Chain A
Amino acid sequence: MNTSVKLSCRNLWKTYGPHDALEATRSGAGSGNTIAVMERVRQLHGLAACANVSFDVMRGEIFILMGLSGSGKSTALRCLSRLVEPTMGEILIDGEDFTAKSPRELIEFRRHKMGMVFQNFGLMPHLTVLENIAFPLRVQGIELTERNERARDMMRLVELDGRENSYPRQLSGGQQQRVGIARSLAGNPDIWFLDEPFSALDPLIRRQMQNQFLHLQSSLHKTIIFVTHDISEAVRLADRIAIMKGGEIVQIGAPREILENPANEYVEEFTRDAREGLMIRGAAGADLK
């Protein structure tokens, strides 16, 4: 595996709230005292959804952000794709400053380098399955026949053949998410963001989709940032996991490190189920590849 850094996120802050709170974040971010800045923001009726978040993601790695609901995972992910603008901090992709990109460059970058899968699928209700998958290509201005052909390839990849002319509402949840996955891959991105892609699915389908996801990645080697709140999903899929709490990252490490050496009580509590599961199976090492 190539171990060079693909995406790097340095001291990322995202504050929601009044102007003052944003200012306080900007001026305090350099100080290094995260707790104090967050407290100040709270006093000013703001909310630091992401506080001083830093991590590196290697090329071809599956990096998982996890934490409870409201811990700021989605916000962090949206900052990385600039669906929301970070209040403070640096994002480097291939060593280039991603936050400095102009709107035009950003559009260009999203067209060719980024794909994203959404928790509630985010499919366009007015387009058929095929049109949905071909949508990123249409945006790029690729001709109808070519984009349909490429979209059909994608459908084969996610095993959806035969449903080209259905509308999203005629599909089951699992099928809809496969459309979402196919669409996010249609532009052949390097970086693949997935925001709780399987949380809306029932456990059996989820398992199936996880396997399919791993299978896909074994041939695609994308750089993946994957958000989930399910520790067993994280342990199954991740190369490395970052655990978030209240906007901060509390621990980063390989699944095994996190299970064996939790950084604090919170992580320990959080990972208990997964650890017990592993102990029952008695083959922790084997299961973590």
Chain B
Amino acid sequence: MRASTGDWRGLRSGAFWVICVAICVICFRQANTSEWIGSFPKEWTFGIADQVNTAMNWLVPKLSGPLHVVSTILGFLLNVTRGVLAWTPWPVAFCLFVIVAHRAGGLPLAVFTVVSLAYVAVTGYWERSMNTLALVGVAVPLSVVLGVQAGILCYRYKWLNSVMQPLLDVMQTLPAFAYLIPILLLFGFGPVVGLIASMIFSIPPMVRNTILGLQRVPPEISEAGLICGCNRRQLLWWVQIPAALPQMKIGMNQTTMAALSMVIIAAIIGGSDDVGWAVLNTMRKAQFGPSLIAGLVIALMAMLIDRISLNFAKTETAAPADARPGRWRHPHGLAALAVIVIILPPSLFIEQLHYYPREWVWDFTGQITTALDTFIASTSGALESLKRAGLFFFLLPLRIGLDQAVSPYSWGIEFTPALRIAYAGLIAAGSALALGSGSRTGAIFIAIWGVLFYYGTIGIPWPVFVCTIAMLAYAAGGAGTAALALATMIFILLNGLWEPAMFSAALCGAAILLAFPLGMAIGTVAAEVEWVSKAIRPVNDTLQTMPQFVYLIPFLMLFQVGEFTALIVVIAYALVPAIRYTEHGLRSVPVASVEAGRAAGCTEGQLLWWVKMPQAVPEIMLGLNQTVICALSMLVIAALVGTRGLGQQVYVALGKADSGLGLIAGLSIALVAITTDRILQGMSRSSKQALGL
């Protein structure tokens, strides 16, 4: 059953919560006396991780034959692509890229391409960029072909679709680090691993968009095809696929971006001399100058690929009948031909034109490093106190609770009973205030956060946590969602990953608690003030296309390795969707109701809070959903700069080549992400229904 408004009202009616609160109170009282309530007993866990490893050991030799064939074929494709890209003289490739960019996005994009490629060449990253590009260039066509096929099958067979959807969810939310090891074991060492990892990650958007596109083909168009006497094949390839093409092109863009970001992450296992490896390597050695330079290369590549593929997705379908006569109809094709005929032959004979010469690399790492060092030295005092404040007053309480965190050492005061009572009073007053203004949901959330801060995610007995989350899931999405939430938490408990999971929960919770309101505020301003909107749009676009790795560099530089850095990185990454969805939600409020508000004499403020905001709630809820998903996906990357928790478990497993632990910890993150998604989608849906949208 789908979520109905009734379930959500269940949350408000409070009947459920009486039981829930009762269980919680009992657990808190018993936590000190009954050991098993305080922390999940070790004896109750059983290690699926070991079983997974045994299974892998059994499976690998069995599968090695056929998989070897696959990896040989992929390796061959990859080598050919690499070979071609490496052999192509750089001026030729340069010109061809610019021509493609011009075809896609006209002069501005062409100029941007010239500048970006010049930067890549001058900094000496040309060859490594081509290696990265080769991986993307092989992964994307394969992913697109496989994704389209899978999408078509899912569209045709309903049962396959219902099997595929959860699989796609897992493929998209399972952190890449988690499946690098099994792939490594199955396919052997080498760049093919990165290729396969990036295909796993980039196929889902293609499948989803293909299904979506096909489902959205108006029935009359399919019927028209049938009446014209199409057979099944003709109907699909001549009618449905072409009609679904605009959506599928969006899918191609998403697939490309996914492939690129994964290729860069996969550099962590090494084996290929590409830009991702350059970033990682310099970052590990704390050489921030070079890593900043290489990071910018990645960022530029990502932006270029995104703009070009997105422009192709948008324009080609609308191509009007070309008025130009015969020969001039394809100016870009002609230009490309000219480049190949005129520039290619001489370049092959002139060494400097064939391979970008070392002497032409302009090395400004020195200057950058000095500049960075002085900057960091001058700000380090302020940054250090910011870091301490963030850790002691925010992150720590959320993890171990004010109960433990407040001490003379950290806060400079004792957490006296008087203070405790004051805190409880404050929370109670907040809840009462929310209740008074008619928002029971608000009251419940304030109470939950109050308890959370007092005990911390670690300090809260696990039955309380399980019970509350299951309740929330039930209220938001009905029995199915509650079952999923329970299954997720039991999975984590049984695998003995509860404690790392709570570490992660604290980090993510903290990040979301900061990122979401901040993003909402920015989004609100952007929705109201035109120039702000114009100004932040390109920034958001850029941030969203940036591979996650790149986020690490500046914050690592400023705050060094540590949990606070991880927090900031997660916040930075999770901020964009909050901004985007808030702005979009506020802007898509029906004009009629805004005008009605204005006609009734609302001030701008009243208009925002009483008219627009309530109607934007479902959309903002979806933004919160994306914020959480982003935060979770960044968790594993943030583990590189030092966190404890599930992300770290995955990362450690990678280091120890422990596929079991990696997969289980990764799967835990994926399950948490999927559960959160269902809960928040459920809330968004019911608030939408409540608004009658």
Contact = CB atoms under 8 A, between A and B. Distances in A.
Contact of B238 (A78, A115, A119, A139): A139
B321 interface: yes
Contact of B229 (A110, A127, A167): A110
Interface residues on A, range: 35 or more
Contacts of A165: 321
Contact of A120 (B218, B228, B229): B218
B220 interface: yes
B317 A118 contact: no
B217 to A, nearest CB: 10
Contacts of B317: 125-126
Interface residues of B, number: 21
Given A120-B218, A124-B243, A165-B321, A107 B224 contact: no
B223 A118 contact: yes
Interface string B198-234: 0000000000000000000010110111111111001
Interface string B369-384: 0000000000000000
Contact of A123 (B224, B226, B231, B321): B224
A116 interface: yes
Contacts of B231: 107
Given A124-B242, A126-B242, A110 B226 contact: yes
Contacts of A150: none
Interface string A183-199: 11001000001000000
Contacts of B230: 107, 139
A26 interface: no
Contacts of A136: 228-229
B228 A122 contact: no
A122 B229 contact: no
Contacts of A193: 227
Contact of B228 (A119, A139, A166): A139
Contacts of B223: 78, 83, 116, 118, 122
B124 to A, nearest CB: 45
B224 A139 contact: no
B589 interface: no
A71 interface: no
Given A122-B218, A126-B242, A187 B224 contact: no
Given A120-B220, A124-B221, A124-B242, A139 B234 contact: yes
B220 A122 contact: yes
Interface string B319-335: 01100000000000000
B239 interface: yes
Interface of B: 218, 220-221, 223-231, 234, 238-239, 242-243, 245, 317, 320-321
Given A110-B226, A118-B224, A139-B225, 10 more contacts: A107-B231, A108-B229, A110-B228, A111-B228, A124-B242, A124-B243, A125-B243, A139-B228, A139-B230, A165-B321
23 contacts: A83-B223, A83-B226, A83-B227, A107-B230, A107-B231, A108-B229, A111-B228, A118-B224, A120-B218, A122-B223, A122-B224, A124-B242, A126-B242, A126-B243, A126-B245, A126-B317, A136-B229, A139-B225, A139-B228, A139-B230, A165-B321, A184-B227, A187-B229
